[in-house]
Amino acid sequence: MSDQTRRDLLRRAALLCGSVASASLTTRLLAGEDPRALVTTATFTERQQAAVSRLSDMVIPPTDTPGALAAGVPDFIASVVGHWYEAAERKVFLEGLERLDARSRERGLQDFAAAGEALREELLREEEQLAISPTDASGVAQSVPRFFTQLKELVVFGYYTSEVGMKQELAYLPMPGYYDGDYDLSKVGRQFVH
């Protein structure tokens, strides 16, 4: 398999969301394993997938440039939660999604993804408040970041390292050619990334 095909397959495997149990996808890929063999069950149920899509665009919405959903961030989140996270982290994340759905049903009778914008905002703000406190309800310090912290990190990292985020929202500069450490910001109006 050429490296290019391998990379493509890997991306597709990530898009299809492979097995949750896989301890170290990268190791297996580097050992030459066919990424297609790693694809078994999906990371998220349809309901969870819908919530993640909503949440992605709530953190980074479309403005004059595309938002996180259009940048493919939900797929990135599925691959990280499914294959990169450790079990304890995955648990916190999936519980967070469950909590959002449960609270949404309590107050609006619908799943989070189907709830109105105002309610979704309110629920996510509550999650943000929860994440500010370093201890849980019983006063125990948390070793794994809270759901909101996880979500925000995933969306931010996924978006600003995506092709859309780097090329459209920020100024992608893979091959500068020269160095100018006294460059007028107004000429580009955003941060350069590589």
Partner 1 sequence: MSDNAPQFDAIVIGSGITGGWAAKELTERGLKVLMLERGAMVEHGIDYKTEHMPPWEQPFHGKPPRALYDEQYPVQRRCHAFNEGTRHFFNNDRDNPYASDPQGFSWIRANVVGGRSLLWGRQVYRWSDLDFEANSRDGHGIDWPLRYRDLAPWYSHVEKFIGVSGQAESLSHLPDSEFLPPMDLNVVERGFKHRIEQGYPDRCVTHARVAMLTRPHNGRGQCHYCGPCERGCSAGAYFSTQSSTLPAARATGNLTLKSDCVVEGIDYDPVTRRATGVRVIDANNRRRSAFTARLVFLCASTIGSTQILLNSRSEQFPNGLANNSGVLGHHLMDHYTGINGFGMVPGYEDKTIYGWRQAGLYIPRFRNLDDRSQSPDFVRGYGVQGFAFRLGWQSMAAQTPGFGADFKRALRQPGPWGIMLIGFGECLPYRDNRIELDFKRPDRFGIPQVKVHFAWGENERSIGADFLQQAGTMLESAGVQGVRMTPNSAVPGMGIHEMGTARMGDDPTESVLNRWNQAHDVPNLFVTDGACMTSSSCVNPSLTYMALTARAVDYAAAQLQTGQL
Binding site for partner 1 (CB under 8 A): 3, 7, 10-11, 14, 23-27, 29, 58-61, 63, 67, 76, 79-80, 83-84, 86, 124, 128, 152-153, 156-158, 160-163, 166, 169-170, 172-186, 188, 190-194
Q: Could you tell me the smallest distance in angstroms from the CB atom of residue 138 to partner 1?
A: 26
- How many C-beta neighbours within 10 Å does residue 65 have? 15
Give exposure, 159-174, as e/b (b: 16+ Cβ within 10 Å): bbebebbbebbbeeee
Query: Which of residues 1 and 188 has its CB atom nearest to partner 1 in the complex?
Result: 188
Residue 4 in tokens? 């290019």
User: How near is the Cβ of 156 to partner 1 at its closest, in Å?
Assistant: 5
Nearer to partner 1, 46 or 179 (CB): 179
CB of 109 to partner 1, least distance (A): 24
Tokens (6 digits) for 135: 């201890």
Residue closer to partner 1 by CB (options 27, 41) is: 27
Least spacing, CB of residue 23 vs partner 1, in Å: 6
Residue (of 99, 109, 113, 95) closest to 47 by Cα position: 113
Residue 104 in tokens: 């949404």
**DSSP state for residue 185 in the 8-state scheme:** G
Q: Which CB, 16 or 157, lies closer to partner 1?
A: 157
Distance CA 104, CA 113 (A): 9
Closest CA to 51 of 137, 135, 132, 155: 155
83 vs 146, beta carbon nearer partner 1: 83
- Closest distance between partner 1 and the C-beta of residue 20, in Å? 15
